[in-house]
Amino acid sequence: MERKQSFSRRFFLKTTSFAGALALIPPKAKALYTELKQRLIPTKEIMPLTVTINKKAYEVKADSRTTLLDLLRENLHLTGTKKGCDHGQCGACTVHIDGQRVLSCLTLAVMTTGKNVTTIEGLADGDKLHPMQQAFIECDGFQCGYCTPGQIMSAVACVNEGHTRSVAEIKEFMSGNLCRCGAYNGIVESIQKVAI
């Protein structure tokens, strides 16, 4: 069946009178439009936030959706912290908040206001590497190096928590950090070295 591409007079009158009616009530029409737009394309919520990262205070404006990981990498260009899966399954984004290891990909940046964040960039003392960084180099704790910042942050916390009494315990408490190169033996060795 063929469909004609034409407009009837009735259709023309209906639509123009509807549009005219809308124009007659501009505030309401505008409100309707903004509400519809908000529903379809919600506006971004930009928030000011103050975070302390590696003992330095930053004042930034960021979308409420920004994760701590994206804030570090995209807004502050602290790219040492890596994005692996972005879903809390790999541990590559591990950082410390108030001394506790957490996943920065599942932390909203705005929720870290007033807290102390430590990233891999904050471990070394000037040119002097943190003992764990040194141990990873000496024990071959990595191959490609992508998971390494997360591994080191997790390893430092693992030692601080005291979960280093056996190889089995180290493995259990490092299970949140995956290494697809399989440098696990070197990682365990590094932790043992620092734990002594």
Partner 1 sequence: MRPFIFTKPATADQALIKKTNQAQFIAGGTNLLDLMKKHIALPEELLDVTNALPAAITANTKGIRIDAMVRNSAIASQAEVLSQFPLLAKAVLAGASPQIRNMASTAGNLLQRTRCPYFYDTTVPCNKRIPGTGCSAMDGDNRMSAIVGYSNQCVAVHPSDMCIALAALEANVLVTGRDKKQHSIPFKDFHRLPGTTPQLDNNLPANAVITAVEIPGNRFQKNFAYVKVRDRDSYAFALISVAAALHMEAGVISEARLASGGVAHKPWRWYKAEQFLKGKKPSAENFRQAASIAVGETKPLANNKFKTVMLQGAIETALQNCLTA
Which is nearer to partner 1, 15 or 64 (by Cβ)? 64
Which is nearer to partner 1, 56 or 171 (by Cβ)? 171
Nearest distance from residue 170's CB to partner 1, in Å? 11
Binding site for partner 1 (CB under 8 A): 42-45, 47, 63-65, 67, 86-88, 91, 94, 100-103, 106-108, 110-111, 154, 157-158, 161, 163, 171-173, 175-177
Nearest distance from residue 89's CB to partner 1, in Å? 8
Is residue 185 within 8 Å of residue 136, measured between CB atoms? no
Nearest distance from residue 26's CB to partner 1, in Å? 26
Name which of 158, 168, 169 is nearest 195 in CA terms. Answer: 158
Nearest distance from residue 122's CB to partner 1, in Å? 17
Which is nearer to partner 1, 17 or 38 (by Cβ)? 38
User: 151 CB contacts (<8 Å, ≥6 apart)?
Assistant: 91, 94, 136, 141, 142, 174, 177, 179, 187
Q: How far is CA 98 from CA 14, 28, 53, 112, 160, in A?
A: 64, 49, 10, 10, 13
Name which of 45, 84, 50, 82 is nearest 65 in CA terms. Answer: 45
Which is nearer to partner 1, 15 or 175 (by Cβ)? 175
Which residues, listed in sequence order, are joined to residue 59 by a DSSP beta bridge?
50
Nearest distance from residue 165's CB to partner 1, in Å? 14
Which is nearer to partner 1, 99 or 145 (by Cβ)? 99
